[in-house]
Chain A
Amino acid sequence: MNQAPLAVRASGLVKRYGDVLAVDGLDLDIPAGQFFGLLGPNGSGKTSTLHMLATLIRPSGGSARVAGHDVVKDALKVRAAIGLVFQESALDRTLSVAENLRFAGLLYNLTSKIIEERSAELLELFDLADRRNWAVGSLSGGMRRALDIVRGVIHHPRILFLDEPTIGLDLPRRRKIWRFIEKLRARTGMTVLLTTHYLEEADSCDRVAFIKSGRLVKSGSPRELVESLGRYIVEIESPDVSALARRLGSGFGDCIKDEDVAHFRYAGEDVTRVAQLQGELGAQVSALRWRRPNLNDVFLWVAEGKL
């Protein structure tokens, strides 16, 4: 084994809706076993990309192979190899937890016995073992989301697509869902491709890619990306942000203006230089702080097209 095979390989993928270009020549390589995050603002083309890879919509151009199969010519083989958890629930609220899993398992041509075994194992893993016979309609939102993921992996897919898996959940429940996904990955080693706009959640990804207007603009490991921003983000609040930006532009480079706060990147390790700014700028500064950058900053700089 010299090189891990690619779980997803897209080249020049295009999706057009009338005049709108939702996905604009996207290239994407995801090695098998990777935990990959596709990040971007709403309407940036994340979901369209995911649905093309999952064979649910047809690319307008370009090509993609998932688990080694072409998404257009071998759609059924692709669908057999992947699990897909949509933003909204796919469960039947009138059936019980076990009945939903049975339905899902039979759709993947699994035998009753295998469905039983896997349901028991997965429900245990997702803390739902004691809810087996509950009607799905009576589960909490977090439990339903967990069950939707169990439903998506009952056939042991090699690649799992998660479209905003924690959307609409509160923080403790979001954390719980992430722990479940971590456990699942640890146990099965499956490739996971997720989209999210809660960027702090993407920190645990092996690799993330930022997508903007249907194009991949930046990708790398979360750490690399954060480090590429610099060592510090300096936020200066000022009554005249534009004047401030002009004055500091030569020394600190481009900034991002957010209302009356300007964000500068600072690559140096020595923050005394930053601390001195307060005195130098005088009345131009209402507040000044510096902190370590995070993925949210990467997102902002990418969105502004300045990274």
Chain B
Amino acid sequence: MTVQWRPVYAVLEREVVRMFRQRTRLISAMVRPLIWLFVIGAGFGAVLGQASGVSYQQFLIPGVLGLTMLFGAMLAALTMVYDKESGVMRMLIVAPFAHYWIVIAKMLAAALAAVLQALLLLILLAVLGTLGAETRFGLLALGLIATSLACAGIGMLVAAFTRTLDNFAAIMNFVIFPVFFLSGSLYPVNRLPAILKAVSLANPYTYGVDLLKHATLGVLPSGMGADFRVWVDLAVLAGFTLAALLIASWRFSQESAYEPMIHILTGKHGGG
């Protein structure tokens, strides 16, 4: 397995260039979490009051950081599908490296896009004075990296099994929203009813948000802080990310080695 840094870098660079070029995508990536924080967070905050030492708005910060990364990584991972549809994938499959490198590079690019957007959001939050002084930055950096990779993993899994971008609305409804709502982003996992709690525990993204809770809220006696240990979060995220990478690579190499993909890319369905 020869490491191909320049091709990987090529994929990362293209993703970042495209991200900053698509202004509306970037602006909505910033507006979405701010709406959660300052509209929904403020509204519910007023109803709930100061629940044991932490305002609901503060409680939401790890959740919206995660949300930004979830959307960012998802959209970037789906360029895999865009590349198949637009034909750019042709450039990648004729290049001289094993095809699983395409999956690795795309996954890293999706994680990078997610981290960059989360950093932009953190700057915005710092400027707005919403970021608490007790934030632990080492843990935050770890949380951003681990969560962005896991989100990229979710994105690559979806991309590997998606044929066209036409069903993006379905992806929103059946992947992004459930992953976000059933994650402890909006409510502490330990207070959820049994079924919802079970689903949340099975959701890898929950552990990413939990890691971010460690960084911004810490463990609180009230139960509004992190639910799991840091090492548990890291282990689940790492395990999931690796599994997602393997499944997506397997699926992609199936597609390229056994030809359906080349037929999509050349508009042929055998015979020609």
Interface residue ranges, A against B (CB under 8 Å): 17-18, 20, 22, 42-43, 45-48, 51, 54, 56-58, 76-77, 79-80, 82, 84, 86-95, 99, 102-104, 106-110, 151
Contacts and interface: CB of A to CB of B under 8 A. Distances in A.
Contacts of B6: 106-107, 109-110
Interface in B94-119: 94-98
B255 to A, nearest CB: 12
A108 B6 CA distance: 8
A58 B98 CA distance: 15
Chain A to chain B: the 4 pairs with minimum beta-carbon distance, closest first = A106-B10, A17-B270, A90-B90, A80-B96
Contact of B270 (A22, A56, A58): A22
Contacts of B123: none
Given A54-B94, A107-B92, A108-B96, A43 B271 contact: yes
Contacts of B161: none
Nearest to B91: A90
Residue among B21, B96, B98 with most chain A CB within 10 A: B96
B268 interface: yes
B265 interface: yes
Q: How large is the interface on B (under 10, 10 to 19, 20 to 34, 35 or more residues)?
A: 20 to 34
Contacts, number: 99
Interface stretch (B12-20, B57-65, B152-160, B205-213): B12-20
A88 B93 CA distance: 14
A106 B93 contact: no
A106 B7 contact: yes
A91 B272 CA distance: 23
B86 A92 contact: yes
A22 B22 CA distance: 43
Given A76-B97, A93-B86, A103 B270 contact: no
Given A76-B97, A88-B87, A94-B22, 13 more contacts: A17-B270, A18-B270, A22-B271, A57-B262, A87-B266, A90-B94, A92-B14, A92-B86, A94-B21, A106-B9, A106-B10, A107-B91, A151-B91
Contacts of B92: 107
Contact of B10 (A46, A47, A103): A103
Interface in B222-272: 256-257, 259, 262, 265-268, 270-272
